[in-house]
Amino acid sequence: MNLEKFDQISIKNAKKLISRVLSATIDNPNNPDWLNFFQADTYRFYFLMNFMREILDNNEISQEYAISLVPKKFASRIKRLQVLKSAVKLGFINEEQSIVDRRRRIYSPSDKLLNEFIQYANDSDIAVTN
């Protein structure tokens, strides 16, 4: 490892980035329950980010679509389904029966998740720009 090739400003910026990310996520004692759940492992966090991006793009999310949001290399089909069902059971994600096809399930974030996610994004943006 050769840190000597980097200037002190770059090293300082890297350390600030690490501090910002950790203080805003894992090390933050004020994290909402949904964030603690979704950052428990890489798959959950990746799922949350993709799920919310699809929601913010106004896309309807079926069960099959939801579990396809994360590549298979991150988790088996059963693991992906378990995370989705756990999020539903914990009240972070709503599950409704499709009006068109009664066998199909449609997923959306709970009002609490959506509101807190948007607030978290706004707070993060303010923290980064300051």
What is the average pLDDT across 84-105?
94
Identify the pLDDT of residue 125: 66
Identify the pLDDT of residue 126: 66
State pLDDT tens for residues 57-74: 999 999 999 999 988 888
Q: Residue 19 pLDDT > 90, yes or no?
A: no
Strand, coil or helix: what is 125?
A: helix
Domain boundary assignment for the chain: 34-129
Instruction: Output the CA torsion 37→77→74→35 (10° steps).
Output: -10
Question: CA quadruple 18, 24, 29, 31: dihedral positive or negative?
Answer: negative
pLDDT: is 25 or 120 the higher one? 120
* Domain topology for 34-129: Arc Repressor Mutant, subunit A (1.10.10)
Give dist(CA 48, CA 17) in Å, integer: 22
Can you give the pTM of this predicted structure? 0.81
Q: Residue 130 pLDDT > 60, yes or no?
A: no
